[in-house]
Amino acid sequence: DARVTQTPRHKVTEMGQEVTMRCQPILGHNTVFWYRQTMMQGLELLAYFRNRAPLDDSGMPKDRFSAEMPDATLATLKIQPSEPRDSAVYFCASGGQVWTRGNTIYFGEGSWLTVV
């Protein structure tokens, strides 16, 4: 089965350190999303790309977060410097631009980040 792959699955880091999360979208999908899940805010969109170009990153704190797609098979989300309030689960998802039956948005297993 094709799936979205995220690394690392779990990360514990100290405040101030840089954190990079990686995502490999499903082959052929041209839209990639980054979501963050917290108890307080639920699932919120941070940024998303189509054909590697950023479409919307308004949900992302610009001073410390950055998202890129170096190529069609890799999306990255970087936090520098990290803070305890960044502790959350970060999900990557991918989808096609046209949704035919069975083609939709699929999520990776998430990167569980703890900043101490």
- Taking the least distance from each CB to other proteins, the nearer of 62 and 101 is 101
99-108 — which CB contacts under 8 Å span 24+ positions? 105/31, 105/33, 106/2, 106/3, 106/4, 106/26, 107/4, 107/35, 108/3, 108/4, 108/5, 108/6, 108/23
Of the candidate spans 11-19, 20-28, 42-50, 62-70, the one that interacts with other proteins by CB under 8 A turns out to be: 42-50
Residue 91 near other proteins by CB under 8 A: yes
Distance CA 41, CA 27 (A): 30
Residue 99 near other proteins by CB under 8 A: yes
Residue 72 near other proteins by CB under 8 A: no
Of the candidate spans 16-24, 71-79, 80-88, 101-109, the one that interacts with other proteins by CB under 8 A turns out to be: 101-109
Q: Which of 107, 113, 115, 116 binds other proteins (CB under 8 A)?
A: 107
Residue 65 near other proteins by CB under 8 A: no
Residue 1 near other proteins by CB under 8 A: no
Give 31's strand partners.
50, 95
Residues that bind other proteins (CB under 8 A): 31, 33, 42-43, 45, 48, 50, 56, 89, 91, 93, 95-99, 104-110, 112
